[in-house]
Each structure stands twice: as structure tokens, then as C-alpha cells.
Amino acid sequence: MRHYLDHNATSPVRPEVIDAVAAAMAADGNALSVHEEGRRAHKIVEDAREQVRRLVNAPVNGVVFTSSGTESIHYVLHGAVAAHKIQRIFISAIEHPAVAANAATTGAEIEAIPVNSAGVVDLDQFREQLRDYRENNSGAFLVCLMFANNETGAIQPVAGAAAITHEFGGLLFSDAAQAVGKIPVNFVMSGADILSFTGHKFGGPLGVGAVVAGPNLALEPVLRGGGQEMNRRASTTNTPGLAGLGKACELARESLARADEIARLRNEMQAAVLHAGAKVWSTEAERLPGTLCLSAPGFSGATQLMNMDLAGIAVSAGSACSSGKSKPSHVLTAMGASDEEATTSIRVSLGWNSTDADAGAFIREWPAAYQRIKARAA
């Protein structure tokens, strides 16, 4: 029996979502066509938009659909830089690699926002960083601060950072890919100007994402052509994918209701690895309920992955997007980890269908594997 503990990479698609996608695939029509088939497709898309809006409390006409979390990030960064003449982008040191990589192609100056040893941005230090910028520069700026970190699960002070950003006249973008569907996310209350997420992190289909922004916030289109997405993002609408995204958003409330149960499973696994001699990251911070990031001296991340896979357990070495690469985790490095700590880290992540059996398998297999490694080194 396999035990899937890699929800932060991609969460298994919920059966109801598969049904919604299949039903939409069986229907005819382009969502921009005016005939009956087109109107039916258009309704599917707009129903999904409303389901997204309700889940994250987005403003009316504030949801723009994309093909992925990465495309959303690219659109936000390039669209904001072009529309607002952004001169500098402040990026937290723990952002997903897609943020730094896409920011680097905008032409704006890049400045890192440091984090503390818990992997959280310090708001007092952040305020001073922006104050220093504003005292020496009059140019527009954008701040990128994720809602929750994909490796450690540390939840960031987005509302506080947004208030400070606005005090100094900037815009704040929050990549909420790891937060939506796992913890309550309220776009309006967060204070963020722009937020993005993707469906496959909480039981939705692959290949669909969303950008949430105020309807009057200017974002220069990156994909041009047709008039889809209120002229904000051209491309033939992925009606089946959006049907699935909408259904996942509708069902996300069930996952949110399981948060305490998921946290219990995470804490049981955490206790087991600490007892075995591992170090767990961001325990001092508020974390996503299902995320556990650990380092084990002498037990490389790649070796941990292989051992767990052979035992029927799926986990990741840091970000799944970087798994298989030998470089240390940039997230843990930013938190002050040593090279060994950053290269012996893995991420265990639970989600909507995780069970006691899944956590129990990890509690049984991981400490035993680590004990074998330590015995060989003795």
C-alpha cells in the first residue's frame, strides 16, 4: 500500500473534481461563442469564478484565470511592472523560485527581504528596509511576500506587511499557492493588492490557476489576442479545468474543517522524528497544519527520498520543483541553516485525504531508516 505525503507538490485530485472535469469535457462550445453551446460553456466558467471568489473573498470581477501558479506569477510581475512603472521589486528570501526567476526578467531592480531563524519576515526590519528605500528613491515598488512557505509551512505576516507597504506607497503581491484550500485565505482582509494560487495544491486539476486583484488595479496583459478574462489574459478558455477548479474551491471547506486533525497527524510525525534525532524547521512560527520540514545529519535528502519510496511513502526534498538537484535549500539557507542541514532536509506534507495510516507509516519507517544510517556510520 502506498502512502502519499507530498501534497505541497501536488495534491491528489478529488473524485468530485474528476467528475466535474469529465462532464465539462463532454460538453461542446467555446466560452466566448454566443450560441447555446457557448453560453453553457460560459456559465461553467463564470460559476467557477464565483466559487473561487467565495473561497478567497475576492472582489467582483477580481478573478483572472491562468494556466498555472507560475504563469500567474509571471503575469503579476510583468503586468505590474509595465502598468505601474515599478523600479524595484522586494522579494522575500523564502519565495518560490518562480518569483525570483520571473522578477529577474522584468528589468526592475531586485532586493531581498530577509527572514528570521523561524523563516518569517520580521515586520520591524521590513519597515526599516522600505523606509530606507523611500528616503533615497521616489520610484514605484512592488513587494512579493508569499502567504505560506512551500517547504517549511511558515505562515507569513501578509496583512502587516501590506499595511507597511501601503504606508510607503507600494503594492504587495502574495503567492498563496500553498495556503488556499489549507488555511482560511481572505483576499480583502489580507490587505494584499494581488494574490495568486493554483488548483492542484488542494485537490483541483493540474493546469489551472488564478490571479486575484482589485478590478480597478491596472495589470498590463502578458498574453494578447482575444478578449478573454475581461481583456486581462488572452487564450481560449480551459472550460473543463476551470470546472474542476471551481469544484475544488467548493469542496475546500471540508479540508479547512479538518485542519486540527491534519495538524495532529503532523505533530505526531514531528514528535517521532525529533525523538530519532532530526531537526524540525519553523516550529516557532505559525505553520500550515499539514507541513513538516526536517533535517537529519548524515542522512541526505536524496537518500531519505529513496528509502521512503522503497517503503511505499512519497515525500519531497524541499520544493518538488527543485527535487533531484543537489544544491541546498535556499529557504533553509535564508533561515541560517548550515549546508549539511540544508542538504539533509525533506518535506512531508499532508492534505485533504491524509489518514492516520499515512502518518503511521512514516512514523514507523522514517526513524527506522535513520537508525540504519546512523548504525552504518558508527
Question: CB-based contacts of 266: which residues, under 8 Å, 6+ apart?
Answer: 289, 290, 291, 292, 348, 350, 359
249 as an active site residue: the answer is no
Are 289 and 267 in contact by the 8 Å Cβ rule? The answer is no
If we measure between CA atoms, which residue out of 1, 10, 55, 11 comes closest to residue 354?
11
- As a 3-state breakdown, the chain gives helix, strand, coil percent values, each rounded to 5, of 45, 15, 40
If we measure between CA atoms, which residue out of 158, 200, 159, 162 comes closest to residue 178?
200
CA 378 – CA 88 distance, rounded (Å): 51
CA 345 – CA 328 distance, rounded (Å): 9
Point out the catalytic residue in the list 144, 249, 293, 321.
321
**Residue labelled with grid coordinates 473561487:** 52
Active site residues: 321
